[in-house]
Amino acid sequence: MVQFPTPQSKTAQVETHKLYEEQRLPGIPPGKARALQAQQDAIFAAVPVPAGAERLTGPARRTPVPVSS
């Protein structure tokens, strides 16, 4: 997957980094980890999708050409 960051998505990344780091700590209770993930999800859900993003496609896959020996 290719991602194209926007100023808003970069801000969300910076805002969620401490939450992510806390979520990764050894021994964190599962309920706390879920709450931290929910906070991150809410922040990223608020990031607008740029106009036209739905029209972007990945590169076409090429069929490999068999190599003769």
Q: What's the pTM?
A: 0.71
Q: Is residue 34 classed as helix, strand or coil in its secondary structure?
A: helix
Q: What is the pLDDT of residue 66?
A: 83
pLDDT in tens, the chain (69 residues): 667 889 999 999 999 999 999 999 999 999 999 999 999 999 999 999 989 888 888 788 888 888 876
What are the domain boundaries of the chain? Answer: 7-48
Classify residue 36 as exposed, middle or buried by CB count within 10 Å of its CB (0-12, 13-18, 19+).
Answer: buried
Return the axis-axis angle of helices 7-23 and 30-45, rounded to nearest 10°. 180
Q: What is the pLDDT of residue 2?
A: 66
